[in-house]
Amino acid sequence: MSLFRDAFWREYALVVLMTILLGAGGAAAGASALDAALGDAARGLLGEAGQYHLIVHVRQGYRAAAARELERLMAAHGPAAVLHEGVTVAGNANFFLALPPEQVRQPVLEELVARLGEVPGFNGYTWLLEPSLTVSGLRPGVQALVAREAAALAGVRLAVRHGSSVTVLLESLNHQRPVAAALKALVEGRQVAEVRWPGRGEGDPASVVAAVRAALGPEFLADVTSPDEAGETRQALAALRDWLAGLAARVQVTPGPGASPLAAGERVVLQGPAPAPPEPGQPPEPQHLIVEMAAAEDGELVGRIVHGDFPPPGAEPGNGAEGELGQGGLGAGARPAGTAFRLVDGVVGPPVGEAVLVSPRWALAAGGGPDPAAGQSWDQLVQAAREAAEQLAAVVDLLAPAAASADTGQQAQRLARALRAGDGASAVREALLGVVLTALLRAGQASGDDPGVEPAEAGHPAGGDGAGDRAGVAAQLAALHQSLTRLAEAAEGLQEAAGQGGLAAVFDIQGRLLQLRDDELTRLWQAVEGAAGGPAAGQRVELLVSGSVPAARLEQVVRQAAGEEAVVIITAAGVVAPSPRALVLELLQDVRRSVAGLGALLAAAAALVLDHATVLAALGRLGCSRRAVAAVGAGLGVLLLGGIYGLSGAAIPGAGPGVVAAAGAGLGVAVALLAERLSPVRPDEIMAGQALGLSDGQILREIVVPVGRPGLLSLVNRWRRQFR
Amino acid sequence: MLLHVDRVQKRYGPRVALAGVSLTVAPGETVVVMGPSGCGKSTLLRCINRLTDWDAGEIYFAGKPIGPMDGAAVRALRRQMGFVFQHFHLIERLTVLDNVLLGLVLGGMPRDEAEERARAALARVHLAGEEARRPAELSGGQRQRVAIARALALDPPLMLWDEPTAALDPILVAEVLEVMEDLARSKSTGMLVVTHEVGFALRAADRVVLLEEGAVVDEGPPEQVFGRPRTALAQRYARLLAS
């Protein structure tokens, strides 16, 4: 404390304190200014709290059309409903919607978002209900339960479901904490056990539910399996997966004598379209086929082509004679594929046996139907289409032989377009009606009569007299009608099986299938399998269980009930999160704290360089050792950075008190070591002051600081300096 | 005895700067210390002023050992020893007057009294009228005279001179030596002068101490030391004096 008997050192301590306060204020002010600016931006983006209830995101190109549709939608909610177009972000125009207060009710809100699909360019929405909390990651069955329970909580005004979340609108901000706690108890105190069976038709959900209920007693809460749209989609995808699996080329390898058997996951190399067979010890050529073996349901190994393409019959070198489909009693689409070589570390290994390739895709292209998994509906459709085309050709030949091919092609294209547009059976009928009308028109032109006045009769060839032609046209048209009706019915049946929009997808897939390479087809199948929920995309059951049951025990109980082949997934029931605005504000708060942290670092560094480097340099000339000066620098650094950081409310992620102290000490030591360079002092003047009997404080005040860098210390020092 | 240096030793690492130096300065006496560069002359002055600590021996000022002194006592001791440096060590930002006032005012003397004494000191070194100028505006001889005035203004019983003319060209040396000789003749203050100016030693010194490799090799009145040189060093100075 004797140090502080000298006025200079008291003022120095005051300067350190002022630096901390001013630095903290500056850092906090800078961060707050940024916070305010970002807050303004957030308000520009999200509106004032409670001002809007919903943001509708629309693709930028549809903005005008979407605005008109949204105006129409909002008009239904009365004149007090508000529609405001906000900023465009990342290609999305954002429309802010506010409902009259009396209409902020769950059914109204859920109906409103249900109708947003009608908005052109609709690309999602975000609730802006405030104050609110959101429970996300909910299974459909749990979602309904949580929505019901949340709506019943005290302080909750309503709960709306959307996606896999439930947004809970609170009566006031004061309810946020208790409602958040209650919601957490609702979801975090529960867990969901999901069971999936690999194949369709496998598993017995009811018995699993009963077994798990019996095993867990009151800890079993509910069966929350939902026969929802997602389930139907999964089933449709599973059907598509199985269909693709039926079309993808398969490889069977018969082990050769002495060869070690292949295992699932191993890969083999086949010659494929390459001019030469694989050579052991060399890497596979690009045209070689690489096949990955997998365990089939019957336990045998079946390979899928993961690289290369099964060439068309007769196209591959050296295999022309054997390239016919179904050769050698292998069945349609099956061909011998030569010797299979094991692939070891990317290099062709020893031969493992003879391979046979089975390609239902090529069988389909050739008119065969080798694989029941490809689907009866498809076969019917193909057959019906073929008959329709024949009939149509006959009609056109009858009416206008010269223009036949071109017009038929146009009609076929029109039909294909209608089908691909996804309009299903009605589209098919519409297109066929066009064909019929055209045919009638041409018949009328050929006979010189009004095509709609007299019906034609069957049996008369084209180019004869008018009555005979009409009779022939009528017969042809009757046959055409029958064929096309069958085609329409087949399409309709397929549409029902695949769901809305599925027909167009199936036609797309059909068109692409014949162009796809085998390895692409394998990848497509794998992709669809992934989208369908993996191999286990058949029956499914979801059980809500108390969170008090250990996950391992729950899995054991469920597996016991469902069988070993079932896939069991244990997950949390959901997660409670703040509202989007709260998330944004929280993010801004993080930014503010980080900016304050950087500000604190800058302020501390500036103070050390401008004020304290002078003093540290002088201390070295006043007899302090280098180590002592470094220690003083470290202490100053800790004090300044720690003080400014703490008081400014700074918080850089990952920078706890220890890190901040270490950073301050490091900064201080660095400044101490570089002090003479940062703020040179004149040692001869310091020595003169010592020789005159001046104290260290007097030397600093009158000799050192006045010629040091301008800073807070030099400012404060002016007050008491005696020599100007 | 005003100053008594008693067998003082000082090492800088392996190098011996002072090897048991002893000497005395009586009040009003002028003692000139001479010796080759690096023989420990400046170190001796810094030890006496407590700008440097020594390893062994003791230094007494006015009968009191200065080794045990610390803090305020050391500062008080320094105020009783005017120190004139080779390179002046003036405070460049201050005027001539403020340079002289600095030690007085910060030592606690009232400003008016200090200013009167400072002006008198400046007049004594023939710098009256230069009070408002800054060191950068002065010649080397003038700057050294300001430094002398700054030391004199303290009215110290002892003045320490560390080669005060070494940094000056020969023309300016004379004006500084003249001031020093005046001071020596006045006997108003004891003077311990480290210099290579043999003529000054002969004219102004009461005693000459020859220092070589940190040890006193000869000591006595200048006539004795240079007139009947007993050491090689004394002989070199005698030849220098004769030339």
Of A363 and A652, the structure prediction assigns the larger pLDDT to: A652
pLDDT score, position A328: 42
* B28-49 burial: b if 16+ Cβ within 10 Å, else e: bbbbbbbbeeebbbbbbbbbbb
Read off the pLDDT of each residue in A469-475 and give the average, rounded to a whole number: 51
Closest-CA distance, B241 to chain A, in angstroms, reads 33
pLDDT score, position A46: 63
Chain A segment 702-721 residues within 8 A of B by beta carbon are 702-703, 706-707
Instruction: Note whether A692 contacts B106, CB cutoff 8 Å.
Output: yes
Within an 8 Å CB–CB cutoff, is residue B93 touching chain A?
Answer: yes
Segment A340-371, tens digit of pLDDT: 999 888 889 888 888 888 877 666 555 444 34
SS3 content of chain A, % helix, strand, coil (to 5): 55, 15, 25
Closest-CA distance, A688 to chain B, in angstroms, reads 6
Asked if residue A481 lies in contact with residue A422, where contact means CB atoms within 8 angstroms, the answer is: no
Q: How far apart are CA A94 and CA A74, in angstroms?
A: 15
pLDDT above 80: residue A331:
no
Instruction: Note whether A689 contacts B150, CB cutoff 8 Å.
Output: no
Instruction: Note whether A691 contacts B79, CB cutoff 8 Å.
Output: no
Segment A594-609, tens digit of pLDDT: 888 999 999 999 999 9
Instruction: Note whether A692 contacts B107, CB cutoff 8 Å.
Output: yes
pLDDT above 90: residue B45:
yes
Read off the pLDDT of each residue in B103-124 and give the average, rounded to a whole number: 93
Closest-CA distance, A699 to chain B, in angstroms, reads 10
Read off the pLDDT of each residue in A485-511 and give the average, rounded to a whole number: 53
Of A91 and A445, the structure prediction assigns the larger pLDDT to: A91
Q: How far apart are CA A349 and CA A372, in angstroms?
A: 36
Q: What is the CA radius of gyration of chain B?
A: 18
Read off the pLDDT of each residue in B91-117 and give the average, rounded to a whole number: 94
Within an 8 Å CB–CB cutoff, is residue B232 touching chain A?
Answer: no
Instruction: Note whether A684 contacts B85, CB cutoff 8 Å.
Output: yes
Q: How far apart are CA A614 and CA A601, in angstroms?
A: 19
- Residue A239 pLDDT level (bands cut at 50, 70, 90): low
Instruction: Note whether B106 contacts A687, CB cutoff 8 Å.
Output: no
pLDDT above 50: residue A9:
yes
pLDDT above 70: residue A422:
no
Asked if residue A461 lies in contact with residue A472, where contact means CB atoms within 8 angstroms, the answer is: yes
Read off the pLDDT of each residue in A681-700 and give the average, rounded to a whole number: 92
Taking contacts as CB-CB distances below 8 angstroms, the residues of chain A near B105 are 722-723
Supply the mean pLDDT for chain B. Answer: 92
Q: What does the longest C-alpha to C-alpha distance in chain B come to? A: 53
Instruction: Note whether B91 contacts A685, CB cutoff 8 Å.
Output: yes
The crossing angle, in degrees rounded to 10, of helices A404-420 and A376-399 is: 150
Read off the pLDDT of each residue in A674-692 and give the average, rounded to a whole number: 91
Query: How far is residue A11 CA from its own chain's centroid?
Result: 61
- Residue A663 pLDDT level (bands cut at 50, 70, 90): very high
- Which site among A692, A694, A699, A707 would you substitute to test the B interface, given the most B Cβ atoms closer than 10 Å to its Cβ? A692
The most confident of A89-93, A171-175, A478-482, B147-151, by mean pLDDT: B147-151
Taking contacts as CB-CB distances below 8 angstroms, the residues of chain B near A682 are 92
Within an 8 Å CB–CB cutoff, is residue B73 touching chain A?
Answer: no
Q: How far apart are CA B165 and CA B170, in angstroms?
A: 9
What residue has token string 């008693």?
B6
Asked if residue A442 lies in contact with residue A459, where contact means CB atoms within 8 angstroms, the answer is: no
Q: Read off the tokens for B193.
A: 């002068």
pLDDT score, position B131: 93
Q: What percent of chain A has pLDDT over 70?
A: 65
Of A514 and A127, the structure prediction assigns the larger pLDDT to: A127
Smallest CA–CA distance from A703 into chain B, residue:
B91
Of A230 and B153, the structure prediction assigns the larger pLDDT to: B153
Q: How far apart are CA A614 and CA A681, in angstroms?
A: 7
pLDDT above 60: residue A709:
yes
pLDDT above 50: residue A710:
yes
Instruction: Note whether B103 contacts A723, CB cutoff 8 Å.
Output: no
Q: What does the longest C-alpha to C-alpha distance in chain A come to? A: 140
- For residue A326, the 8-state DSSP code is B
Taking contacts as CB-CB distances below 8 angstroms, the residues of chain A near B79 are 692-693
pLDDT score, position A642: 94
Please count the residue pairs, one from chain A and one from chain B, whose beta carbons lie less than 8 angstroms apart: 64
Q: How far apart are CA A437 and CA A712, in angstroms?
A: 95
Smallest CA–CA distance from B155 into chain A, residue:
A692
- Residue A234 pLDDT level (bands cut at 50, 70, 90): low
pLDDT above 80: residue A235:
no
Chain B segment 107-136 residues within 8 A of A by beta carbon are 107
Within an 8 Å CB–CB cutoff, is residue A130 touching chain B?
Answer: no
Instruction: Note whether B77 contacts A693, CB cutoff 8 Å.
Output: yes
The most confident of A3-7, A130-134, A174-178, A630-634, by mean pLDDT: A630-634
Asked if residue A660 lies in contact with residue A642, where contact means CB atoms within 8 angstroms, the answer is: yes
Of A629 and B242, the structure prediction assigns the larger pLDDT to: A629
Smallest CA–CA distance from B108 into chain A, residue:
A694
pLDDT score, position A602: 92
Query: Could you tell me which residues come within 8 angstroms of residue B35 by beta carbon, excluding any fewer than 6 positions away?
Result: B41, B210, B211, B212, B233
- pTM metric for this prediction: 0.52
Within an 8 Å CB–CB cutoff, is residue A722 touching chain B?
Answer: yes
Taking contacts as CB-CB distances below 8 angstroms, the residues of chain B near A2 are 71
Q: What percent of chain A has pLDDT over 90?
A: 14
pLDDT score, position A447: 42
Within an 8 Å CB–CB cutoff, is residue B161 touching chain A?
Answer: no
Instruction: Note whether A723 contacts B102, CB cutoff 8 Å.
Output: yes
Segment B82-100, tens digit of pLDDT: 999 988 899 999 999 999 9
Taking contacts as CB-CB distances below 8 angstroms, the residues of chain B near A689 are 91, 102
Task: Tell me if residue A121 falls in helix, strand or coil.
Answer: coil
Phi-psi region of A711 (alpha: psi -120 to 50; beta: other; left: phi over 0): beta
Instruction: Note whether B92 contacts A723, CB cutoff 8 Å.
Output: no
- Residue A327 pLDDT level (bands cut at 50, 70, 90): very low
Of A50 and A291, the structure prediction assigns the larger pLDDT to: A291
* A368-404 burial: b if 16+ Cβ within 10 Å, else e: ebbbeebbebbebbbebbebbbebbebbbebbbeeeb
pLDDT above 80: residue A291:
yes
Read off the pLDDT of each residue in A323-345 and give the average, rounded to a whole number: 67
Within an 8 Å CB–CB cutoff, is residue A688 touching chain B?
Answer: yes
Read off the pLDDT of each residue in B146-171 and give the average, rounded to a whole number: 90
The most confident of A177-186, A289-298, B54-63, by mean pLDDT: B54-63
Taking contacts as CB-CB distances below 8 angstroms, the residues of chain B near A694 are 75, 102-103, 106
Segment B159-204, tens digit of pLDDT: 999 998 888 888 888 888 888 898 888 888 999 999 998 989 998 8
The strand order across the sheet containing A165-170 reads: A156-162, A165-170, A132-136, A575-578
pLDDT above 70: residue A509:
no
Read off the pLDDT of each residue in A508-532 and give the average, rounded to a whole number: 64
pLDDT above 60: residue A425:
no
Smallest CA–CA distance from B154 into chain A, residue:
A692
Q: What percent of chain B has pLDDT over 70?
A: 100
Closest-CA distance, A617 to chain B, in angstroms, reads 17
Task: Tell me if residue B61 falls in helix, strand or coil.
Answer: strand
Smallest CA–CA distance from B75 into chain A, residue:
A693
Instruction: Note whether B78 contacts A691, CB cutoff 8 Å.
Output: yes
ipTM of the complex: 0.92
Instruction: Note whether B51 contacts A682, CB cutoff 8 Å.
Output: no
pLDDT score, position A420: 47
Taking contacts as CB-CB distances below 8 angstroms, the residues of chain B near A695 are 75
pLDDT above 60: residue A37:
yes
Within an 8 Å CB–CB cutoff, is residue A689 touching chain B?
Answer: yes
pLDDT above 70: residue A472:
no
Instruction: Note whether A692 contacts B91, CB cutoff 8 Å.
Output: no
Task: Tell me if residue B202 falls in helix, strand or coil.
Answer: helix
What residue has token string 């031969």?
A351
pLDDT above 60: residue A146:
yes
